[in-house]
Chain A
């Protein structure tokens, strides 16, 4: 009941005109970013963070804007999957399987409408899950002492690559780069400076926001320059929407199953949205009586992965808000944003910043409704936007990024750092080293170090404190599982994902890892524009 009260208060916050505007703006921008191939949700949120700073928004409004972008990106990913057979982001890969064949049959509008509805159901159910699970987990999280947190951060690192991750070695390299960057600045536990060389600007360490914007947004720009993608994607025309009530009712059970599976995949660390959409699709194929249409444009094959990936996106917010441990790349970016706004995520967030958290949760509900409304009647607008040439889009992105970074500190040095990170991001992506672990390393590294030192201070240097409670032992067990599973079932899962993609798509070989998906997108994009 208490939860319900808080939620109602949250709605009062989210329904103010200003916040409603930001939710709508975020939903719009997010869908656009999600729809553009190559720009995933993590990049999308990263690119739009500076916007919040340039506009000088309050913490509340910034978070509402960015969670709406996040939710929007999950909606947007499906548009190019369906129309162009190019996933707008990695989780939307499974939507290609049935979405594109359906579009080829001349039912693109129906395919988009069904997927929008499934996305809505997925997000909606997962937000309810968030409302129920988050306060409960926040109370439970009080049981976490430094030793348990240390185990938890180890778990987060162990599952970094994700179960479907291919090259664990490169993930580890990336995480190490992040950890190294994180050691710059004052060491909380002793008050000493590390690697600051008496440069005042380095005393507080390197701001993650600058690293994020540089690594994601600026490297994106460099990729663009390299590919000379002056023109937009080919024009796509939409048919008139003909959708009966029966079509909607038909996909309801599918969407519900996908939502629940997706939500839990999101809550668990390491699983993430891609796996959420993959298992939802696989389950649907298993339970369906008539399997003949799968891969040829079955509406259920569109609804399942879309409900799954949107639900897991919201599920990933649960550990981020309650424990301060992000479950995915995008939530890591959101976490960095929270920290920059002087808001400490964790169990106390729900007590100390109740207005803010519940306002954001309520905004998720409202944002979803806005997204559904935007994505059914207005889908034509997004389709048009897809053909806006990047030569107009990328300079705008750069402008927003620079203004935003400058707005945070007013220091030109930060702009140089941003560009430096951009070049680093470009090189790393060329080497197929994923960027998300760098951010996680930067964010979680200092926390992990702090927990370890605290645990040891509390136990007077006795290391056995780290596995002295049943809670920490179970977290250690999970971490071990997270480390070993990719080697055991990872290859099987990857082969299956690749096989199911192979049935219908031509880009399957390139669409395996995140970095590869992106370069694949860029390749196919240029092929399309050239042909």
Chain B
């Protein structure tokens, strides 16, 4: 951790230096590249395409944003590509999210670590949620956690990521905060997507669902699922404001699945600052707020040094909990 602290200090000093300079010192090229580390149609692809449109609309760049799909290894192919081949490309951004930090924390990209790139900023988040079917005996997160304390195998969770992935970790974060000690034996059933996992919970085959809020929105009106807790700092904006948070139930579990970007490591500080300022400008724009509303993204905004600190902390937390349950050594 010492290394990070030092890096953070250096970064902070560098940033102060940049701030004092004129912000027009760097000129961005006409067109920029946005790598979506997945096939067309997924979340990262959406992040790139929608931010690209807003950037053009706001005249942040004179040309266009080219979305470049680079699937593989859950973002690992793109990460290795940026670290290895494009480390000085100042007109390149890469879509990322909590699943990127999860994989980095668990060392799933061979030879890569979070220091290999510069973390530019997050422009929204989808928060974690723990829900049950409407015929479930559990009414609050506390009841659920108590049941797990009695017998870790009592409650079985279904989620849309692989074992050890973000959906699995949310359960562990909530259980750990709730005082469960035997995290290893909580059953987690991995599905290929949130919808498939939810189907099994609604059908009454599996006791609880772990996922993102956006995955259950369609099922709130139909009354098929009951949300036990949203894993956010505060209640979500209307119409989701009647969903209780874990914090209200005295369980300190916050699990944002942020959407944001990293940029190559060796770009100039002026270029990095350009990215930070651009993301700030995009976040507050009416156009981006509209994108967030349409896609169900919740308020979550961190850029520059603040974002870097957040990413480091998230990596550290995930690493710790993954070690606790034996996912990594």
Give 1 or 0 for each of A321-341: 1 = CB within 8 Å of chain B CB.
000000000000000000111
CB neighbours (8 Å) of A346 from chain B are 195-196, 199
Q: What are 16 pairs between A and B in contact, CB < 8 Å? A: A187-B162, A191-B190, A200-B72, A203-B72, A339-B192, A342-B41, A344-B195, A346-B195, A346-B196, A347-B203, A348-B195, A348-B198, A408-B39, A410-B68, A411-B77, A458-B206
A409 in contact with B69 given A342-B42, A352-B195, A460-B153 (CB within 8 Å): yes
How many of chain A's residues have a CB under 8 angstroms from any CB in B? 40
CB neighbours (8 Å) of A347 from chain B are 199, 203
Is the pair B218, A409 in contact by a Cβ cutoff of 8 Å? no
Interface centre among B109, B153, B196, B202 (most CB of A within 10 A): B196
Tell me the bound Cα distance from A198 to B193 in angstroms.
25
CB neighbours (8 Å) of B70 from chain A are 409-411
CB neighbours (8 Å) of B153 from chain A are 460
For residue A325, give the distance in angstroms from its CB to the closest CB of chain B.
13
Given B41, B73, B162, B218, which contacts A341 in the complex, CB threshold below 8 Å? B41
A204 in contact with B73 given A344-B192, A457-B189 (CB within 8 Å): yes
Tell me the bound Cα distance from A340 to B72 in angstroms.
13
CB neighbours (8 Å) of B162 from chain A are 186-189, 191
- Whether A437 is near chain B, meaning CB under 8 Å from some CB there, is no
For residue B83, give the distance in angstroms from its CB to the closest CB of chain A.
12
Give 1 or 0 for each of B143-176: 1 = CB within 8 Å of chain A CB.
0000000000100100000111100000000000
CB neighbours (8 Å) of A457 from chain B are 156, 187, 189
**CB within 8 Å: A-B pair count:** 115
Is the pair A145, B74 in contact by a Cβ cutoff of 8 Å? no
For residue A268, give the distance in angstroms from its CB to the closest CB of chain B.
23
For residue B28, give the distance in angstroms from its CB to the closest CB of chain A.
23
CB neighbours (8 Å) of A144 from chain B are 203
CB-nearest residue of chain A relative to B78?
A200
How many of chain B's residues have a CB under 8 angstroms from any CB in A? 42
Tell me the bound Cα distance from A341 to B39 in angstroms.
8
Q: Name B's A-contacting residues (CB within 8 A).
A: 39-42, 68-74, 76-77, 80, 108-110, 153, 156, 162-165, 187, 189-193, 195-196, 198-200, 202-203, 205-206, 218-219, 222, 327
Q: In the complex, which residues 132-147 of chain A have their Cβ closer than 8 Å to any Cβ of chain B? A: 142-146
Tell me the bound Cα distance from A191 to B103 in angstroms.
11
Is the pair B195, A188 in contact by a Cβ cutoff of 8 Å? no
Q: For the complex, would chain B's binding face be called helix, strand, loop or mixed by DSSP majority?
A: loop
CB neighbours (8 Å) of A340 from chain B are 39, 41
Is the pair B196, A203 in contact by a Cβ cutoff of 8 Å? no
CB neighbours (8 Å) of B72 from chain A are 200-201, 203-204, 409, 411
CB neighbours (8 Å) of B219 from chain A are 351
Tell me the bound Cα distance from A385 to B158 in angstroms.
52
CB neighbours (8 Å) of A146 from chain B are 189, 200, 205
7 residue pairs, one from A and one from B, having the closest CB atoms: A203-B73, A145-B205, A191-B164, A142-B203, A188-B190, A342-B41, A191-B163
Tell me the bound Cα distance from A188 to B110 in angstroms.
19
Is the pair B74, A351 in contact by a Cβ cutoff of 8 Å? no
CB neighbours (8 Å) of B40 from chain A are 53, 56, 341, 408
Give 1 or 0 for each of A148-189: 1 = CB within 8 Å of chain B CB.
000000000000000000000000000000000000001111
- Whether A508 is near chain B, meaning CB under 8 Å from some CB there, is no
A344 in contact with B196 given A56-B40, A188-B163 (CB within 8 Å): yes
Given B42, B190, B196, which contacts A189 in the complex, CB threshold below 8 Å? B190
CB neighbours (8 Å) of B192 from chain A are 188, 339, 344, 450
For residue B271, give the distance in angstroms from its CB to the closest CB of chain A.
24
CB neighbours (8 Å) of A344 from chain B are 192-193, 195-196
CB neighbours (8 Å) of B218 from chain A are 351-352
- Whether A454 is near chain B, meaning CB under 8 Å from some CB there, is yes
Tell me the bound Cα distance from A352 to B217 in angstroms.
10
Given B69, B77, B191, which contacts A450 in the complex, CB threshold below 8 Å? B191
CB neighbours (8 Å) of A187 from chain B are 162
Tell me the bound Cα distance from A78 to B123 in angstroms.
55
Tell me the bound Cα distance from A500 to B210 in angstroms.
57
Is the pair B41, A409 in contact by a Cβ cutoff of 8 Å? no
Tell me the bound Cα distance from A457 to B156 in angstroms.
9
A191 in contact with B195 given A203-B72, A341-B41, A342-B41 (CB within 8 Å): no
